[in-house]
Each structure stands twice: as C-alpha cells, then as structure tokens.
Chain A
Amino acid sequence: NAGVMQNPRHLVRRRGQEARLRCSPMKGHSHVYWYRQLPEEGLKFMVYLQKENIIDESGMPKERFSAEFPKEGPSILRIQQVVRGDSAAYFCASSPPTNQGTLQYFGPGTRLTVL
C-alpha cells in the first residue's frame, strides 16, 4: 500500500490563476479530508468528502475554493483566481470507511506558492 499520494508536491501560481491539487487516498479508503497549514500556524480543517459526496465543508472559504471526490480518480481541491494569502501547505488525509475518521493517514502535502 503506497500510502496517501498528493501531487504536485510544489505548485507555483501567479495571482489570478487556478490551482488544482490532487489527493489519491490509500487503497480501500473512501474518506478524504483536506487541511490547510498557513505559515506559522497549525493545520486547519477545510473539507471532508466521501466518494461523490461532500459531507462537511464547514472549513472551506466561501468563494474560490471547491473540492470533489469522484467515483473514479483522485480527490481534487481547486482554488480559482488565487491570491497571495492562499500560499500555504495543503494536506489531505484518508481513512477507511469503518472508523469514522478516527484513524487518518496523511499525505506529504502540496506547497502552494502564489507570486
């Protein structure tokens, strides 16, 4: 089991561009969580998804951010019209369907830099 995969590991965008971050959960895991870590801060929850469903998006900014977890393929966190304040490390975690997120396995993160 390769573990949670995220790509790209580093992403540079100019203000106004779009950023797409991908997360492939561990095999057999159908739950995905996205967290954001701003400089000098802890990780903050953004969104929780199951296959084809958004379960909890209480941590998502109201505008420009969206997430999906299709039936096939990775989960995608999409940031439209990026601004400098979006520069951060974005982590995803996956968990199996049986334990309601008690055990979350983290990916290596994507570091987004907005110029």
Chain B
Amino acid sequence: AQRVTQPEKLLSVFKGAPVELKCNYSYSGSPELFWYVQYSRQRLQLLLRHISRESIKGFTADLNKGETSFHLKKPFAQEEDSAMYYCALRSGNTGKLIFGQGTTLQVKP
C-alpha cells in the first residue's frame, strides 16, 4: 500500500536548535517526494522536492531509499519556521499526492 507516515504531531524546539521532521513512505516503485508547508493563515505551499535537491529557507531533505525516508532538516531553526509541515508522495502518472498527517513545528524564542 502507498503510505506516508509522519510520526510526530508536534515538534517543539528553541530558536537556533537543529530541526528534523521525520517522514517515512511506502511505495512500490521509484518515489517522488515533496515537503509542503502551511504558515498560519496561509495556503499550503511547496517547500521542496527531492528531485530538485535544493535548499529552501535553509531546509534540506534527502531521499533515503534504504530506510524509505525523506526527513526534513534545518541546522538552526528560526521563529518564522513555525508552521505545519506535510510530507507528500506523488502517486502514479496522474500526479495525485499522498500526504502524511502533518507535523506542527513550534520554534520558541
């Protein structure tokens, strides 16, 4: 079955601390993975995707096929990073996304 799991509902860190939001997936095939972010009162927006291998706002994510993971990392959290983060898997040729349940990141001053 195709599935995305984000084990933490809430992650709370202090400003300047490292952050790792966990994401594991189950997919028979070559996965295409994304991280979406939703800031307070804003719409869901794409943060990054594994194909691009880019760093956005200091965040990176590496696809680990052996561990079927796509964890999101940032070395030094900022207060403006506080948001809801969703990991998503693109399924099949139609492009539909399978989302994890989301992790709320709270960065305390």
Complex CA distance for A3 and B52, rounded to whole angstroms: 23
Beyond A101-B94, A105-B46, list 7 extra A-B contacts (CB 8 Å). Answer: A33-B95, A56-B94, A102-B90, A104-B97, A106-B36, A106-B43, A106-B44
| Docked-complex contact A43 and B94, CB < 8 angstroms | no
Instruction: Give the size of the chain B interface in residues (CB under 8 angstroms).
Output: 22
| Docked-complex contact A42 and B46, CB < 8 angstroms | no
Inside 8 A of A41's CB, which chain B residues have their CB?
101
With A106-B45, A108-B43, A109-B43 given, is the CB distance from A100 to B96 under 8 Å? no
| Docked-complex contact B94 and A48, CB < 8 angstroms | yes
Query: Measured between C-beta atoms, what is the minimum distance from A92 to chain B in Å?
Result: 11
Task: Describe B's contact surface by its main secondary structure.
Answer: strand
Complex CA distance for A59 and B97, rounded to whole angstroms: 11
Residue of B nearest to A91 (CB): B44
B residues in contact (CB < 8 Å) with A: 4, 6, 32, 36, 43-46, 49, 86, 90-91, 93-102
Inside 8 A of B94's CB, which chain A residues have their CB?
48, 55-56, 100-101
Considering residues B95, B97, B98, B101, which has the most beta carbons from chain A within 10 angstroms of its beta carbon? B95
